[in-house]
């Protein structure tokens, strides 16, 4: 038997129809979800309509499995599968430490449609970040290529000259929302591209590291007290679809709100979940 046939591929190297992808194979090898895990993923759903699922991912929950990861969204999505259907598919990613909006699709066609919207910049993402440093360092647009590297066992994105090996174009729009007496600032970030750690690397490059971001020089202590988490939250997403625009919002978590309050930073309207 040929190598292509052993690995489920046709002679041109493409997967044969019906052949399992590596991610599908890994999912099939995983143990079934527990009742608590199913309850967890269902509790994160903030939108489920027309084949699109929006999750409000908490900080600390990995999006995909990997070394040292015991719980991840990709595996938990099996808990949202309709009877007799495949689990929903992730459409994009969030860093493990980042909280907020994360999209999945119930069908391959919907996943392809959403992925194309992200690739074509028809998806507009808005993040909130709390940074350390003077507000006068902020600029409206960072256009700084990034390249991935590993340093001391950590995967990082670092500034790179255009055209150098591994460099990828990266653009992030920035705006100051509030400045606290402690020197911390609340910043709105709108990534125009989707590079690894893009917002984190761009803000650190301005001398404005995100609080709690030890990978990029962020502090774990402030005059208002300890930093409980990476202070980066995916607040909202607007995406253009054939049926019309879809706008989604994931309110800021309590730990994020609490530190903003301690630092004298007012969150924008719509970022705080209404009291029940």
Rg, C-alpha atoms of the chain:
20
Residue 219 neighbours by CB under 8 Å, 6+ apart: 132, 209, 211, 212, 227
Helix (H) or strand (E) holding 23: helix 22-29
Choose, from 56, 74, 95, 213, the residue flagged as catalytic.
95
Q: Are strands 221-222 and 89-90 parallel, antiparallel or unpaired?
A: unpaired
User: Which of 220, 189, 182, 223 has the alpha carbon at shortest distance from 203?
Assistant: 189
For tokens 């040292």, the residue is: 68
User: Which of 57, 73, 59 has the alpha carbon at shortest distance from 212?
Assistant: 59
User: Which of 206, 205, 208, 217 has the alpha carbon at shortest distance from 183?
Assistant: 208
Counts for the chain of helices (H) and strands (E), in that order: 7, 14
Quick one: tokens of 42? 């269902």
Q: Quickly count: other Cβ atoms within 10 Å of residue 85's Cβ.
A: 10
Query: Would residue 95 show up in a list of annotated catalytic residues for this protein?
Result: yes
Tell me the catalytic residues: 95
């Amino acid at each position: 038997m040929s190598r292509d046939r052993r690995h489920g591929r046709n002679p041109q190297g493409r997967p044969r129809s019906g052949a399992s992808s590596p991610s599908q194979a890994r999912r099939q090898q995983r143990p079934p979800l527990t009742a608590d895990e199913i309850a967890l993923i269902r509790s994160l759903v903030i939108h489920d309509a027309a084949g699109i699922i929006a999750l409000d991912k908490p900080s600390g929950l990995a999006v995909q499995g990997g070394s040292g990861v015991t719980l991840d969204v990709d595996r938990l999505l099996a808990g949202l599968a309709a009877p007799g259907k495949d689990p929903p598919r992730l459409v994009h990613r969030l860093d493990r430490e980042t909280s907020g909006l994360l999209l999945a699709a119930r069908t391959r066609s919907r996943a392809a449609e959403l992925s194309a919207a992200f690739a074509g910049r028809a998806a507009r993402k808005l993040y909130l970040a709390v940074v350390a440093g003077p507000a006068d360092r902020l600029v409206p647009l960072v256009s700084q290529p990034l390249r991935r590297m590993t340093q001391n066992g950590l995967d990082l994105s670092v500034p790179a000259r255009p055209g150098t090996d591994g460099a990828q174009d990266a653009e992030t729009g920035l705006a100051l929302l509030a400045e606290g007496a402690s020197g911390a600032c609340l910043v709105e970030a709108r990534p125009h591209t989707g590079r690894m750690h893009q917002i984190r690397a761009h803000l650190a490059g301005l001398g404005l590291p995100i609080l709690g971001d030890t990978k990029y020089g962020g502090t774990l202590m402030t005059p208002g007290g300890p930093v409980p988490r990476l202070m980066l939250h995916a607040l909202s997403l607007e995406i253009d679809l054939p049926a019309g625009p879809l706008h989604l919002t994931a309110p800021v978590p309590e730990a994020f709100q609490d530190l903003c309050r301690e630092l004298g930073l007012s969150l924008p309207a719509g970022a705080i979940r209404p009291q029940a």
